Structure 1
C-alpha cells in the first residue's frame, strides 16, 4: 500500500483496505462544542472514529499557562488516544473535517507528524467531498481493538516559548487568521486585536477552492512565494488564533513541496495572554522579500 503523507482524494481513500486504515472524523464547531460529536453520530465515513478538538487534540487544563486557547496535548496523552483508537504503525491514517472552511483535521495531521508518524493525510474536500461523490456513510460507532502506543514529539517542529520568536535571525511568522483579524479591525475570540509585529498574513482559506478542495501544488508554491519572498521554508513559523488553523498553511506548504516549516503553538491567544507584549495593527510596510526588520517593527501601528 502506498503511503499518503499530505492529502488524499475520495477515490484513493475508498480504494484502501480497511484493515490497514484508521479514519478519524475531526468535525468541530467552535460556537457549539457539542456539534462535532452529534454530526459524527448522525453519519460518518465507514469505520471512522471521532476526535474532539478540545478533549482529544488539546490539553485544556493548560490554558491558564499562557499557551493559547488550545494547548498541545502531552505526548503520553496523545499516545493513549491513538491506543484507544487501535492505531498501529502499519496503518494509514486519514483525517477529515466538514469541508470548506473547516478546522481540525490538519491539527490531527500535524500532531501525528509531530509524533513522528508519516503515513497520515487529510481527506481533500472533507466530508462534503465524500458525500458529493455518493460514497456510503454509517452511524454505527466502530469497535476497535486497543493497542499499546508510545510516541514522543519532535521539539524541532514546534515553538512554544514566546521568546524564541526573537531568535537571531528571527523566523518569518505566517499568520493564518482572516485578514480583518490580522489587521486588528475585529477580534471575536481573544483579548486584543492585531498581530505579532513582523508577522505576514496568509489566511488559511486561501489554500482552498470554494468547494473546499486544496489548490494544486504549483499554484500553492506560487502563492506562498508571493508572501514569503526569498525566505526558506525552514525559516517559516506558522501561527493563527490558537494553533489549529495554522496547520492548514503548514499542510499546504508541505503539499506544495515547501518542507520544513514549524508551528508557533500558542499563536495569537498565547501571545496576547501577556499584556506587555507588543501588538501591531494594519498592513506591513515592507515587502515580504525583504524579510523582517531587525527589531521586527515593520507594521503601521503598535500598542502595548
Structure 2
C-alpha cells in the first residue's frame, strides 16, 4: 500500500500531496540529491534551492559510513550515529518523512527511505518523480536552512532487513533458498562494462532487475498494479520474503525493494555490501553474461 491511511504515506507520495502538507509541523523532508561523479554537487544544488523545510542528506556522510572497510563503497551507517543524524534533522517517530532526489529516487532517496524503515520508522515515503517533477509543477522552492535539532531518534535497528555476510548469501543462493535480484543496468550486470568497481560481472545465481524498470517515461513510478505483475513474474511463485536485493553498493537496490513494497509485496531484504563488497575477496566467484 502506498499509504497507511488518508494522510500517512509509507512508500510513495505524489508531489500534490506533499505540496498540500507544506508547513505541517509533523512533516520532515530530506533532500538526497547526489552525483556519483561529484560528491559536492547535491549540496551545491540544495543551496541554490530545495523544497521548503528540507534538510540535506548526503549519501557519503549521512546515509553511509565510508570508514567501515570490506562492506562496499557505501557501508551502512552505525545505528547510533544514524540516530543522532535523524535527531539533527528533528525527526521523531510520529513524523511523516518524505525523501527526494533528482533521479526518481534511485540515487540516495530510496536509500534514505530504506534506512528509516530499517530503524523502525513507518511513515516515510519517496516523492514520486522527485525534484524534476516538483520543479515542472511550479511548486514552491526555498533556499533557507532549517533549524537543526539536538535530540537523538529512538532507533530500533532491524537487522532482519539486510545481509552483510557474503558467504551466507552465497550458500542461500546456491541452495535456491533466495532469489537474488541485481538492480544495476544490464551491461554492468553482464560484465560488458564496469565504470565504478575493480571487477566486472555479477554474483553467480543472481538475476537482473534494473531499477530503471520501476519508472515510467516521466520519471515517476509505474502503477502498483503494473509493478506487482512485473515482480510476481520474476518471483515465479516465490514469497517476497525470499527475495534479496543488491546493486553496486547497496543504494539503487533499495529502489527495487521500495518498488516491491509500493506494489504490496513486503518482506524482501537487501544485501547491503552489494557488488563492491562481494569483490573485496578475490576468491569469490564472478559470473558474466546473462
Superposition TM-score, scaled by structure 1 size:
0.90
CA distance in 2 between partners of 1:152 and 1:102 (Å): 25
In structure 2, stretches of 5+ residues that fail to align are 1-5
Asked if the contact 1:162–1:271 (Cα under 8 Å) also holds between the matched residues in 2, the reply is yes
The corresponding residue for 1:53 is: 59
Give me the whole-angstrom Cα distance separating, in 2, the residues matched to 1:90 and 1:137: 25
Are 1:234 and 2:241 counterparts?
yes
1:300: which partner in 2? none
Distance 1:24 1:278, change over 3 A: same
Q: What's 1:129 paired with?
A: 133
Q: Normalising by the residue count of structure 2, what TM-score does the alignment of the two structures yield?
A: 0.94
Deviation at 1:173?
0.4
Q: Show structure 1 runs of 5+ residues with no match.
A: 284-304
The within-5 A match list for 1:188-199 is 188-199=195-206
What are the equivalent positions in structure 2 for 1:68-107 lying under 5 Å apart? 68-100=72-104, 102-107=106-111
Instruction: Please tell me whether residue 156 in structure 1 is matched to residue 156 in structure 2.
Output: no
Residues 244-275 of structure 1 show CA distances to partners (whole Å, capped at 9, x for unaligned) of 00000000000001110000000000001111
Aligned partner of residue 15 in structure 1, secondary structure: helix
Instruction: Please report the RMSD computed on the Cα atoms of aligned residues, expressed in angstroms.
Output: 1.3
Structure 1 Cα separation of the partners of residues 276 and 37 of structure 2 = 17
Match of 1:25 among 28, 31, 36: 31
C-alpha distance in structure 2 between counterparts of 1:43 and 1:101, whole Å: 18
1:202-281 paired onto structure 2 within 5 Å: 202-281=209-288
**Matched residue count:** 281
The aligned residue for residue 3 of structure 2 is none
* Contact 2:118–2:161, Cα closer than 8 Å, also in 1: yes
With over 3 angstroms needed to count, the CA separation of the structure-2 counterparts of 1:118 and 1:101, relative to structure 1, is closer
Q: Is the 8 A contact 1:99 1:129 kept in 2?
A: no
In the alignment, which residue of structure 2 is the partner of 1:112?
116
- Per-residue deviation at 1:102? 4.2
In structure 2, relative to structure 1, the CA distance for the partners of 1:101 and 1:6 (3 Å cut) is closer
Asked whether the equivalents of residues 96 and 123 of structure 1 are also in contact (C-alpha less than 8 Å), the reply is yes
List structure 1 segments (4+ residues) > 4 angstroms apart after TM superposition.
Answer: none
